[in-house]
Chain A
């Protein structure tokens, strides 16, 4: 009986040994499971550093585990009934203190070099302020006066498995950060509420966004394309649902985009002046609601009480228009509801309030009043 177990154990040890070698195979030819090389000099340096340290670890592991497994096979009680009695050797101890120390120095040198390269703080040709919010990113182009929010655009139905998931499930946004190729871009990273962390693996940038403080990072992307990343600091309920998407474009495409963004801003100003019909507002409001509100208040307006109250059947949403506007503009102190005054345009603000006052039977059960963009403009004017 015992013999059988021993045989069983032996084959298991072989399996164990194979397993310890397994990663080296996987990392070399299974690229999808390794760190990305990325598209910048820094990211490639980081990748090489990662592989270097990894191979050193594998080599050390191979040596140590070979000796260990050799001992485990060779010096079983059956094969070596009389154990040796040696139990110390100053020479050995010194050797295996000094040798690892030297290996560490060999690792520290390239690591320190790459780090210094990352910390090089040259001037950026384009400077972008990145602000983390619960749960979205805001990008402010400092030179061009462009700013917009970048929200997860994956449909709630995909998340709740009601429809099939798209290719870029949870890694897609309504409006990506756009930067030109071969241009030094500097990011000034901060946060609005709690700590977030802005990560773009292909640039090897991961910087915490801390409320009240500013961190910098820079990149010079060498290839056009779309690069996807995440928030990597636990920031509350929707931590997993605020991806970072960066689109690197050719330089002229970038200037065209800057121009079109500026035109858009002018158009938006015109929209604010325009006369809006209820239907137009409700339609626009539904889109705004899906982007900004569903995560907490849900598509059906039922919310997730007690933290995220229901809007469907809410007294404020049905009867108190003024308070309704105030809540969206100021947020609710001490609750999860934040101010959207700086996040939504007057048009979108009016539209989303109107939508919530119309949807889910609120119009039928309540006063059905709606809000137009000029109401919001009026609200924003100082009242003395």
Chain B
């Protein structure tokens, strides 16, 4: 299988073009995957720099570095950039690189659309970031942009924000259409749905979620736009509208969005644990069913973000119970991972370290999520640092660790070079310590009563905020090491074999390392 014969078509280049035009005009899934990954890393650094501004301001009580107004802009942009600019494009980048190779397809189904969906992103984020320099400043209403703070009371730049959200939405919709068409139509003969690698499964479900909810986000911002400029009153109580309606629509998008950012991580971690345990993944089909049920449940739990808006008792009870149910499939996934490791033959390379810490820390985030689902307790937790700790635990050591694990795991396939194992481990340990020092104390300051989105705080929160800031700077700095490791691997290093990892399974390991520019021009046979 390792000697896949390249068939030459007239309409194909033999290799990549040279120079800038290669990247501007490329329709190759590997090039586009690379672009997505670098773009998301750049956004990760920008969003991270904003997080550093936030943490630096919170280092001590009192206003030191920025004004509250600018602080609000930082927290808004940090959220938007990390969600839409870092995590989502990184997963799309991984999908571009891996989905065609994993299903044995020559490329994505819609290569030109693929190019467009990437190149929309720099424009979207260019517009968003340029709002920092506009009169009245950048959006300052939080990444959840609740009306009427984001409509009647918004800075003028809100219109650019809406435009930018539209563009990023269009980009993700196109990206997910591409993924679905590829997976549904271009699998190699013999690769049934229930034989697909879990990463492919996770992305198939994610892409459907994106198609279902990104248009709703587009609808929400369109309504905002109409309220602001065309005199409608969807969300304006004075005109008969309802600000709470905005929250319902937003979270109807927003909750599935949360799973959009974690499902591909489930796929990645499943592959890595399987590989480094040298043992087949435990409970493949229950993993698939768990992801499907998480995706379906995600549409009926949105109002758990809004327990304090004053819903009737029956609604609160329904959303509480539905939310608690999500713990069941999520638990199944964790148990399956543990069962995969049980009686395996484990080694601890960097991707495995990230994957193991993913399981542990994501589970901690899951526990705090379960606590948050309990409505009476949520009245105390809601909008405090406990929530901040919760969602950072599922997003940073959850989504982001899985992305880093994926990069270490597949970079030998992408570049043909092994990364520096010693530095990889160092990067892991620094990140691991950084993440926990940053976010664990936030559980405590939240429980003790510090609300989120505060530029300044009462004195009893001072000690742990200082610790948290120290951790954040450690985590931030260690990502520079990550950049260095990746660059070093791209430049050179120990040559990788096609198999790369002893226990790795899947079609992508059957091609050479680095993967040739065109793979599987002739579909492979799958047993």
A212→B238 contact, CB < 8 A = yes
**The 5 A-B residue pairs with the shortest CB-CB distance in the complex, in nearest-first order:** A212-B237, A215-B310, A33-B444, A240-B454, A84-B343
Give Cα distance in the complex from A353 to B456, angstroms: 30
A83→B379 contact, CB < 8 A = no
* Chain B residues in 8 Å Cβ range of A5: 422, 425
**Which of B31-39, B62-70, B201-209, B253-261 interfaces with chain A?**
B62-70
Q: Mark A20-36, 1 if CB is under 8 A from B, else 0.
A: 10110010001011111
Smallest CB gap from B375: residue in A: A115
**29 residue pairs from A and B, CB less than 8 Å apart:** A30-B444, A33-B444, A33-B445, A33-B464, A34-B447, A50-B377, A53-B374, A87-B279, A88-B284, A96-B335, A104-B325, A111-B375, A115-B375, A116-B313, A118-B376, A170-B456, A194-B148, A194-B149, A201-B380, A207-B310, A210-B243, A210-B310, A211-B148, A211-B237, A213-B310, A215-B309, A230-B451, A234-B453, A237-B140
Give Cα distance in the complex from A74 to B310, angstroms: 51
Counting CB contacts under 8 A, is A259 at the interface? no
Size bin of chain B's contact surface: 35 or more
* Chain B residues in 8 Å Cβ range of A230: 449, 451, 454
A195→B243 contact, CB < 8 A = yes
B64→A161 contact, CB < 8 A = yes
Q: Name B's A-contacting residues (CB within 8 A).
A: 61-64, 67-69, 72, 135-136, 140-142, 146, 148-149, 152-153, 155, 237-238, 242-244, 277-286, 308-310, 313, 316-317, 320-321, 324-325, 327-328, 331-332, 334-335, 338-348, 353, 356-357, 359-360, 363-364, 367, 370-371, 374-377, 379-380, 382-384, 422, 425, 429, 432, 436, 440, 443-445, 447-449, 451-460, 464
Smallest CB gap from B244: residue in A: A210
Q: Mark A134-176, 1 if CB is under 8 A from B, else 0.
A: 1000000000000000000000001111000101111100000
B72→A61 contact, CB < 8 A = no
Given contacts A57-B367, A194-B148, is CB(A114)–CB(B376) below 8 Å?
A: yes
Smallest CB gap from B310: residue in A: A215
Given contacts A96-B332, A159-B456, A168-B458, is CB(A104)–CB(B61) below 8 Å?
A: no
Counting CB contacts under 8 A, is A238 at the interface? yes
Given contacts A6-B348, A306-B136, is CB(A64)–CB(B317) below 8 Å?
A: no
A71→B148 contact, CB < 8 A = no
Given contacts A64-B335, A104-B324, A213-B243, 7 further A-B contacts (CB under 8 A): A22-B440, A80-B345, A112-B320, A169-B61, A230-B449, A232-B384, A234-B72
Counting CB contacts under 8 A, is A246 at the interface? no
A204→B379 contact, CB < 8 A = yes
A61→B278 contact, CB < 8 A = no
Smallest CB gap from A101: residue in B: B328
Given contacts A111-B375, A114-B376, A206-B308, is CB(A87)–CB(B425) below 8 Å?
A: no
B244→A20 contact, CB < 8 A = no
Give Cα distance in the complex from A204 to B63, angstroms: 29
Partner of B382, one of A20, A75, A86, A232: A232
Give Cα distance in the complex from A205 to B340, angstroms: 45
CB distance from A380 to the nearest CB of B (A): 23
Give Cα distance in the complex from A32 to B460, angstroms: 9
* Chain A residues in 8 Å Cβ range of B357: 16
* Chain A residues in 8 Å Cβ range of B458: 168-171, 228
Given contacts A68-B359, A96-B331, A206-B308, is CB(A85)–CB(B279) below 8 Å?
A: yes
B376→A100 contact, CB < 8 A = no
Partner of B153, one of A77, A88, A158, A236: A236
* Chain B residues in 8 Å Cβ range of A61: 363-364, 367
A108→B448 contact, CB < 8 A = no
B347→A76 contact, CB < 8 A = yes
A239→B313 contact, CB < 8 A = no
B310→A208 contact, CB < 8 A = yes
| Size of interface on A: residues with Cβ below 8 Å to B | 106
CB distance from A68 to the nearest CB of B (A): 5
Partner of A195, one of B146, B155, B341: B146
A71→B344 contact, CB < 8 A = yes
CB distance from B505 to the nearest CB of A (A): 12
Counting CB contacts under 8 A, is A81 at the interface? yes
Counting CB contacts under 8 A, is A359 at the interface? no
Smallest CB gap from B341: residue in A: A71
Given contacts A84-B279, A100-B327, A194-B153, is CB(A232)–CB(B380) below 8 Å?
A: no
* Chain B residues in 8 Å Cβ range of A89: 282-283
Counting CB contacts under 8 A, is A222 at the interface? no
* Chain B residues in 8 Å Cβ range of A46: 376-377, 379-380
* Chain A residues in 8 Å Cβ range of B141: 234
Given contacts A88-B283, A199-B451, A233-B146, is CB(A75)–CB(B457) below 8 Å?
A: no
* Chain A residues in 8 Å Cβ range of B459: 165, 167, 169
* Chain B residues in 8 Å Cβ range of A201: 380, 449
Smallest CB gap from A308: residue in B: B69
Smallest CB gap from B359: residue in A: A68
CB distance from B477 to the nearest CB of A (A): 19
CB distance from A292 to the nearest CB of B (A): 17
Given contacts A85-B279, A115-B313, is CB(A208)–CB(B341) below 8 Å?
A: no
Counting CB contacts under 8 A, is A241 at the interface? yes
* Chain A residues in 8 Å Cβ range of B380: 35, 46, 50, 201, 204, 206
Give Cα distance in the complex from A305 to B380, angstroms: 37
Give Cα distance in the complex from A22 to B279, angstroms: 32
B284→A87 contact, CB < 8 A = yes
Counting CB contacts under 8 A, is A97 at the interface? yes
* Chain A residues in 8 Å Cβ range of B148: 193-195, 211
Given contacts A54-B371, A57-B367, A68-B341, is CB(A104)–CB(B327) below 8 Å?
A: yes
B72→A34 contact, CB < 8 A = no
* Chain A residues in 8 Å Cβ range of B284: 87-88
Give Cα distance in the complex from A216 to B313, angstroms: 12
* Chain B residues in 8 Å Cβ range of A6: 348
Give Cα distance in the complex from A53 to B323, angstroms: 15
Smallest CB gap from A10: residue in B: B348
B436→A213 contact, CB < 8 A = no
Give Cα distance in the complex from A71 to B334, angstroms: 14
